[in-house]
A = this chain, B = another copy of it.
Amino acid sequence: MINIDFDKMGGLAPAIIQDAQTNEVLMLGFMNRKAWETTLETGKATFYSRTRNKLWIKGETSGNVQLVKEIRIDCDNDTILLKIEQVGGAACHTGHKSCFFRKLENGELKTIGTRIFDPKEVYKK
């Protein structure tokens, strides 16, 4: 079996989320053991929210869940890489496909991604 090293970061391991089709990196989240086990059990990327201090099933509010297609573990067993299918097309809460939609150019951040959805529509009450 796999034994992820959650001790190195006080119970958390970083998880890189990559589009299974295009290999674009969509986001990085953190998992605790429960989030990791839930991801394995459900096939949906699940994280531990450091700001809300609770388990966070990605897409539970927006419907944009991440269906796990492949799981890779790094050489030190302390970092997870998930290749996923992004339901809804956008991983970022800003409505962009990837959270990495800004590129550093001449010392300034330049937006290069286009918005897939309007967050005001998706996260309204």
Contact = CB atoms under 8 A, between A and B. Distances in A.
Contact of A74 (B24, B79, B100, B107): B100
Interface string A50-65: 1000000000000000
Contacts of A1: 107-108
A92 B102 CA distance: 27
Copy tally for this chain in the complex stands at: 2
A99 B78 CA distance: 11
Given A93-B75, A96-B75, A104-B72, A22 B23 contact: yes
| Best-buried of A75, A92, A109 by chain B (most CB within 10 Å) | A75
A103 interface: yes
A56 to B, nearest CB: 14
Contacts of A104: 2, 70-73
Interface string A86-119: 0000001110100111111001110000000000
Given A2-B109, A79-B28, A72 B100 contact: yes
Contacts of A23: 22-25
